[in-house]
Amino acid sequence: MKRLKIVLPQWEGGVNPNYVLGDRLMDLIVPAEQLPTVTIPVADVNDPEVLERQHGIDAYQALQGQLTAVQGVLATMQPDKVLMVGGECAVSLAPFDYLSGRYGRNLGIVWLDAHPDISTTEESHHLHEMVVSSLLGKGAPGFNAHHPLASDQVILAGLIEEDLRPMDHNVFDYQVQRMTPKQLREAPNALSDWVRGHGFKQVAVHFDLDALSPTAFRSIYPAEPGTDPANFPAAVGQLTLPEVANLLTQLDQNAELVGLTVAEHMAWDALNLRQSLSGLSLLE
């Protein structure tokens, strides 16, 4: 089976340059040194024109270019399995669409995230908030999947339902199955049961680190030092690393794991240390 790792420090879909350093560090953390690797360049974080809004999407041109670059790599190398080490959540769009085209209805998608990422340009201008809707073929203009998934091929795992926002209404409109952290704890086999119950032979997992609790994992957006996660303006994850590790292991044992994205690593200590040293004349 041909495997490929793609490193994409994409920040534009969340309009947050901090994801660039987070992705570079994540590339060192993920234990996949043996995999052939392609790194996709991203736009200059200091270029104000990068974020120009077109068709309701901030940084439309930059994101289109990066999407096309990843699609080109996948079309050329034709891997059977893809590991995506990414910045914000929109990095899953190209590889999961590719895997959908490769495996069709045999593919199930586990979206491990505190948020559903299922908006459209009517509710958001950030591509990372509409990745799932785009994979379903109902999302962002110019970013909808070439091989759209059916709603029953996706499960939203770790979703904080009580904190869903009006922009998340498509969770209900598209009838996507979902499981809260509490449900995952009460039924540790639920995701693997979902895979077997639907007859999926292959599975791809999108792991947004925001699915984790800020008390269990500090390198996520809601865990910014000096702030209270209770005041974070979106849902805050509740899972622990051991719980996620168990879920991933079970999925790996009950289906062929052909895709994995690890995204939204916010390395606060590294970012703050870098910023603290940046003004020193010795380093200029």
* pLDDT surpassing 90 at residue 125: yes
108 contacts: CB under 8 Å, gap ≥ 6 = 153, 154, 155, 194, 195, 198, 200, 202, 203, 204, 255
Domains and CATH numbers, the chain: 3-283 (3.40.800.10)
Q: Which amino acid is at 113?
A: D
* pLDDT surpassing 90 at residue 3: yes
* Cα–Cα distance, 113 to 238 (Å, whole number): 10
Q: How confident is the model at residue 14 (pLDDT cuts 50, 70, 90)?
A: very high
Average pLDDT over residues 81-87: 98
Q: What confidence tens digit (pLDDT) does each residue in 161-191 have?
A: 999 999 999 999 999 999 999 999 999 899 9
Contact present, 121 and 166 (Cβ < 8 Å):
no
Residue corresponding to tokens 């996706």: 154
* pLDDT surpassing 90 at residue 4: yes
Contact present, 201 and 250 (Cβ < 8 Å):
no
DSSP state of 221: G
Can you read off the two tokens belonging to residue 36? 């052939």
* Cα–Cα distance, 168 to 63 (Å, whole number): 22
Q: What confidence tens digit (pLDDT) does each residue in 24-75 have?
A: 999 999 999 999 999 999 999 999 999 999 999 999 999 999 999 999 999 9
Among the listed residues 182, 181, 159, the one whose alpha carbon sits nearest the alpha carbon of residue 170:
159
pLDDT at position 284 is 85
Question: What's the burial of 49, exposed, middle or buried (CB within 10 Å: 0-12/13-18/19+)?
Answer: exposed
Q: What confidence tens digit (pLDDT) does each residue in 228-264 have?
A: 999 999 999 999 999 999 999 999 999 999 999 999 9
For residue 230, give Cα distances in angstroms to 167, 214, 227: 20, 10, 9
Sheet containing 256-263: which strands, arranged edge to edge? 37-39, 3-8, 81-86, 256-263, 202-208, 107-112, 154-157, 177-179
138 contacts: CB under 8 Å, gap ≥ 6 = 120, 144, 148, 170, 174
